[in-house]
């Protein structure tokens, strides 16, 4: 049994590597073609283009892992069924479930690897690729600098602006501070506001305190217009996207929004999705083993076709569950877990019904 197990694991990883490399290469080619116009216009050096595409690869690999696992296990066991290798194992008194249970352990290891990859390598690589594209290739200067709890930027009037966060859906900025200096860089004025809202193509500060150090005075305003902040689009472009943050960074950012009284469903769903998505690796291997060994469906091309159908059905269910969040029928923390739970249950039932 040990020899058979080693043989099937070797075959699995051989197909797994080929599928993963092909998928990543196709994705990088598609990304290159999408940005080919920008690369040509900016006369981007080849080494920067290669570096950008290489840094995009970890994110592609993370999302491709579960489906590469599914198709690899279907191909491996499909070929074994075609050449009657599973029949020989049964005839010799071996247990099919016991023999291929090692793939469930591989699924668990892949799930943990995907979790670590998604929390460490992927966010850093995604941020680095975005920096290379915007700064080194496109020649754009970064307008927002990240502190531990705040975002810093240079105001349109030359001031220094500090904000706690940006509410994308409502075009609002949280806890805004504006520091003004004179031509000799002497600190003259400080403006503190609970929030700023984009109304009629201009920013309006709310609950404002103005500390004028030049005249040694303090004034309060319920609302005050400011020309320090740029238009909301700059925040959408410059602020880190959820896929550029790990779980703790995204949790910290969302917590700041929530404390200010704003709830962004997109961020909540993405927050729990960072924990739910790695589990798909185990679910797909479990489902693939059960699908390939099920006597009713068999292996080979038919099982591979069913694998494509499984992938499509999975993403349909995933998209549907997320849409239920927006309508209020499903809790944001539950939506990312619906697809893994359903397919894990279905795969477990199929696995238990495999005939020895």
User: Is 170 within the bounds of a domain?
Assistant: yes
Q: How do residues 129-175 score in pLDDT, each as one tens digit? A: 988 988 888 887 777 777 767 788 888 888 898 988 888 777 888 88
254 confidence band (pLDDT: 50, 70, 90): confident
264 has pLDDT over 60: yes
Note whether 186 and 204 are same-domain residues: yes
User: Is 242 within the bounds of a domain?
Assistant: no
125 has pLDDT over 60: yes
Q: How do residues 7-52 score in pLDDT, each as one tens digit? A: 889 989 999 999 999 999 999 999 999 999 989 888 889 999 999 9
User: Is 238 within the bounds of a domain?
Assistant: no
* Phi, psi of 120, deg, nearest 5: -120, -70
* Phi, psi of 5, deg, nearest 5: -65, -45
Q: How do residues 279-304 score in pLDDT, each as one tens digit? A: 999 999 998 888 877 755 555 566 56
**Which of these three, 179, 207, 229, is where a domain ends?**
229
**Which of these three, 209, 229, 249, is where a domain ends?**
229
Alpha helices in 42-185 (DSSP H): 46-82, 85-91, 96-100, 102-119, 121-131
Note whether 45 and 110 are same-domain residues: yes
Structural domain count of the chain: 2
Q: For the ranges 89-98, 226-235, 302-311, which has the lowest average pLDDT?
A: 89-98
Note whether 112 and 158 are same-domain residues: no
| Residues 64-93, mean pLDDT to the nearest whole number | 77
User: Is 304 within the bounds of a domain?
Assistant: yes
| Residues 75-99, mean pLDDT to the nearest whole number | 70
- CATH of residue 179's domain is 2.30.30
> In the numeric block, which tokens belong to residue 337?
């877990």
pTM reported for the whole predicted model: 0.79
**Which of these three, 206, 229, 252, is where a domain ends?**
229
Q: Of all residues in the chain, what percent carry a pLDDT higher than 70?
A: 92
Note whether 115 and 193 are same-domain residues: no
Higher local confidence (pLDDT), 355 or 157: 157
Note whether 191 and 114 are same-domain residues: no
Task: Write down the pLDDT at residue 301.
Answer: 60
Task: Write down the pLDDT at residue 65.
Answer: 93
Range of the domain at 62: 2-137+266-352
User: Is 300 within the bounds of a domain?
Assistant: yes
Note whether 12 and 60 are same-domain residues: yes
Mean pLDDT of the chain, nearest integer = 84
User: Is 42 within the bounds of a domain?
Assistant: yes
| Residues 95-110, mean pLDDT to the nearest whole number | 85
Note whether 157 and 52 are same-domain residues: no
Cα(69)–Cα(285) distance, integer angstroms: 6
Note whether 33 and 132 are same-domain residues: yes
Q: What angle do CA 279, 285, 290 make, to 5 degrees?
A: 130
Note whether 152 and 127 are same-domain residues: no
Task: Write down the pLDDT at residue 92.
Answer: 63
């Amino acid at each position: 049994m040990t020899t058979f197990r080693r043989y099937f694991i070797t075959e699995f990883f051989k197909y797994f590597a080929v599928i993963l490399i092909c998928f990543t290469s196709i994705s990088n080619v598609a990304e290159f073609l999408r940005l080919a116009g920008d690369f040509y216009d900016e006369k981007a050096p080849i080494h920067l283009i290669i570096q950008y595409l290489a840094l995009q690869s970890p994110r592609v690999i993370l999302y491709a892992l579960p489906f590469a696992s599914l198709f690899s296990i279907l191909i491996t066991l499909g070929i074994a069924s075609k050449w009657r290798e599973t029949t020989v194992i049964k005839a010799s008194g071996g247990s099919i479930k016991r023999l291929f249970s090692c793939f469930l352990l591989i699924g668990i290891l892949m799930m943990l690897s995907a979790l670590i990859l998604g929390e460490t390598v992927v966010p850093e690589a995604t941020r680095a690729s975005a920096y290379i594209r915007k700064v080194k290739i496109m020649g754009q200067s970064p307008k927002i600098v990240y502190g531990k709890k705040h975002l810093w930027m240079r105001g349109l009037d030359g001031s220094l602006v500090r904000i706690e966060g940006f509410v994308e859906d409502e075009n609002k900025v949280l806890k805004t501070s504006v520091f003004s200096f004179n031509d000799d860089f002497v600190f003259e004025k400080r403006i503190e506001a609970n929030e700023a809202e984009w109304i009629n193509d201009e920013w309006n500060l709310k609950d404002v305190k103005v500390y004028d150090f030049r005249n040694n005075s303090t004034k309060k305003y319920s609302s005050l217009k400011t020309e320090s902040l740029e238009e909301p689009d700059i925040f959408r472009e410059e602020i880190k996207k959820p896929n550029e943050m790990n779980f703790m960074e995204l949790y910290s950012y969302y917590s700041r929004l929530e404390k200010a009284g704003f709830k962004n469903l997109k961020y909540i769903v993405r927050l729990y999705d960072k924990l739910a998505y790695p589990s798909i690796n185990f679910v797909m291997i479990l489902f693939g083993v059960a699908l390939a060994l099920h006597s009713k469906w068999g292996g080979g091309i038919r099982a591979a076709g069913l694998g494509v159908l499984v992938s499509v059905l999975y993403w349909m269910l995933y998209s549907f569950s997320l849409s239920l969040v927006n309508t209020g029928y499903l809790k944001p923390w539950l939506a990312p877990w619906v697809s893994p739970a359903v397919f894990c249950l279905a795969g477990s039932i199929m696995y238990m019904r495999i005939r020895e």
